[in-house]
Amino acid sequence: MRFGAHMSIAGGVDRAIDRAIEIGCEAVQLFTKSSNQWKARPLTPDEIARFKEKAARYGLPTVAHDSYLINLASPDDALWEKSITAFREELERCEVLGIPYLVTHPGAFGEAGLEFGIRRVAEALNRLHADLPGYRVMTLLETTAGQGSSLGYRFEQLAAIVERVREPERVGYCFDTCHVFAAGYELRTPEGYRATMDEFDRILGLDRLFVFHLNDSKRELGSRIDRHEHIGQGKIGLEGFRLLVNDPRFAEHPGLLETEKSPELHEDVENLRVLRSLVAS
């Protein structure tokens, strides 16, 4: 697995690559804009060129994550339209930067119901695909923990969205270990891990799984509470990650940390060390 982490873009999107290389990442995830604002500062030609040059120079797989404000399942028409506009801009930024994957949480349906939320996300993706023909960037629906009315905590929910998408080849999946575990899928034993991956393959297809988020869980199996913990220090524990990082099917997949960190990034350094120590020689 290509181990890496989510990195800050302070100072420009290309600085995420600099920070990733400085601590020994083999892949990187970033926001292409501020994650807590709707408006985005335009990318300059120099910034785009620097990002592409650094990504090529280091051979670093790059993944983007969209803003947490976006809710493609929202029953509020104004918020839904605003979310579609913002997600379109994020896709456009990924396309110009040459980032192949844009990860998004499917969204929350509020009081409108699960089926409504599923239809809402699919309709949003269909509109975006029609508006942006020929784009190479792929939307990755992320598995979720299932807090509140959030979509995506069962593999069947993600499948139901993609079944309604007219260009399904433009959609893939991101597997978050903390979220999947909190949603009730076992990862800690060989039997549990195998059953979870078999179920994912049967319902969604491992050939459509492109990125992993590597996070331990502060909360127990099936809690449906999304709280990330450092690798090996949570309820999943080292054995669950050992099983995953030694699975040959995912040898070239980006495995990205989203755990808490200080400006010095020493927590990322330690988590990367732990992950690498689990890989069988």
Q: Residues marked as binding for Zn(2+)?
A: 65, 105, 142, 176, 179, 213, 226, 228, 258
Residue/partner pairs of 44-50 with CB below 8 Å, 24 or more apart: 47/12, 47/13, 47/14, 48/96, 48/97, 50/12, 50/14
The pairing of strands 2-6 and 254-257 is: parallel
Distance of alpha carbon 245 from alpha carbon 261, whole angstroms: 22
DSSP H helices in 23-69: 45-58
Distance of alpha carbon 77 from alpha carbon 1, whole angstroms: 40
Which residues does the annotation place in the binding site?
65, 105, 142, 176, 179, 213, 226, 228, 258
Strand partners, 101: 63, 138
Phi, psi of 251 (to 5 degrees): -60, -30
Contact 38, 84 (CB under 8 A): no
State the angle between helix axes of 114-131 and 155-163 in degrees (0 to 180), rounded to the nearest 10: 50
